[in-house]
Amino acid sequence: MSDLPFTLDQLRILKAIAAEGSFKRAADSLYVSQPAVSLQVQNLERQLDVPLFDRGGRRAQLPEAGHLLLEYGDRILSLCQETCRAIEDLQNLQGGTLIIGASQTTGTYLLPRMLGQYRQKYPEVAVQLHVHSTRRTSWSVANGQIDLAIIGGEIPPELQDSLEVAPYAEDELALIMPVFHPLASNEMIARSDLYKLKFITLDSQSTIRKVIDQVLTRGGIETRRLRVEMELNSIEAIKNAVQSGLGVAFASTSSIEKELQMGVIHRARIESVEVKRTLSVIFNPNRYRSKAAEAFTKEILPQFTNRELEFKKASANKSNGAKSNGAKTTGAKTARIQPIIFLI
């Protein structure tokens, strides 16, 4: 170890500077002094005999050597964290950490219930929930920063061979409107009625909005014809706007359960239209799988669906689905999914 030209602390400092953009903010994030950070960087550059930062601008920029060390440093630090968690596992769930990832809607409305049950059973395990886009979450699973994740979007193509995927549950998109809306008294509305309504949506650049548009299109709804009157930046804001009578919206059924029980919004049924997306559980088979993650997979996940998990490589599922269908498929095992019910 003494022959290595860098230490783990120096790699942590390099990563912090790259993330924060300055030596001072990196020092603050690591709870050390700025001179200590500068000294470590100087020692590291002297030991490697290459400059790691371009210090000319207002923001610390990494040249090629800096980016290369950062890339390998991330992998080294990730393996160190994985090693520590494997050692913690020797205590047989009397400690350790469970890190779960989720896309926005799932992480906000479904995972807290799951983690609540998990914590009741394993109170000594430290639990972290990371809520990000499907793409970012998938990369975190691939890099070993997250044990497993529940996602609603499509896995990036470049990760298809790295991750294993199990279709988990179907999340339906429901049309919600104010309880006093003229159409709220109808048991069913026609598809053509959709194009006369005033819609409230998420920002057009948001990942969730894009996923919703994709799901609606697959359900036969022409999203370009929908009259978008207002764009908001959160699902909660959209629900409140609908409740106040500002328009209608499509929302995941998992996000409106409380409002439906309270009777403050109305869920409208659309004739001959059922809009659903498949939620999947993903993990990296080449990374260490902790006992904490195993317990969550085997004991908690089955309580929220009527389907047993069957993990398979995403690329293999996609290939099998295409062969059985004779047509293109847009996601892992899409053509072979059986109906799944969300038990929440």
SS3 category, 63: coil
pLDDT of residue 173: 86
Query: What is the rounded average pLDDT of the residues 194-222?
Result: 86
**Helix boundaries (H) for the chain:** 8-20, 23-30, 34-48, 64-88, 104-109, 111-121, 134-142, 207-218, 235-243, 257-262, 291-295, 314-325
* Separation CA 214–CA 171 (nearest Å): 14
Residues in a beta bridge with 277: 171
Q: Residues 152, 134: contact at Cβ < 8 Å?
A: yes
Find the CATH number of the domain harbouring 46: 1.10.10.10
- If one compares 325 and 199, the residue with the highest pLDDT of the two is 199
Say if residue 164 is in the same domain as residue 296.
yes
* 69 has a pLDDT exceeding 80: yes
Give the total number of structural domains in the chain.
3
State the Rg of the chain over Cα: 24
Say if residue 163 is in the same domain as residue 285.
yes
Banded pLDDT at 322 (limits 50, 70, 90): very low
Domain end position, chosen among 241, 258, 276: 276
Find the CATH number of the domain harbouring 297: 3.40.190.10
Say if residue 57 is in the same domain as residue 202.
no
Say if residue 196 is in the same domain as residue 283.
no
Domain with 148 in it: 89-169+279-336
* Separation CA 122–CA 116 (nearest Å): 10
In a domain, 59, yes or no: yes
Domain end position, chosen among 232, 258, 276: 276
Say if residue 65 is in the same domain as residue 98.
no
Query: What is the rounded average pLDDT of the residues 44-62?
Result: 83
Q: How many other CB atoms are found less than 10 A from the CB of residue 71?
A: 10
Say if residue 75 is in the same domain as residue 220.
no
Say if residue 192 is in the same domain as residue 152.
no
Say if residue 222 is in the same domain as residue 164.
no
In a domain, 1, yes or no: no
**β-bridge pairing 164-178 and 276-283:** antiparallel
Find the CATH number of the domain harbouring 196: 3.40.190.290
Please write the tens of the pLDDT for every residue from 75-98.
Answer: 888 888 878 777 776 666 667 789
The model's pTM: 0.64
Say if residue 183 is in the same domain as residue 252.
yes
Say if residue 175 is in the same domain as residue 248.
yes
In a domain, 113, yes or no: yes
Say if residue 165 is in the same domain as residue 101.
yes
SS3 category, 321: helix
Say if residue 117 is in the same domain as residue 200.
no
Please write the tens of the pLDDT for every residue from 151-178.
Answer: 988 889 999 888 999 988 888 889 999 9
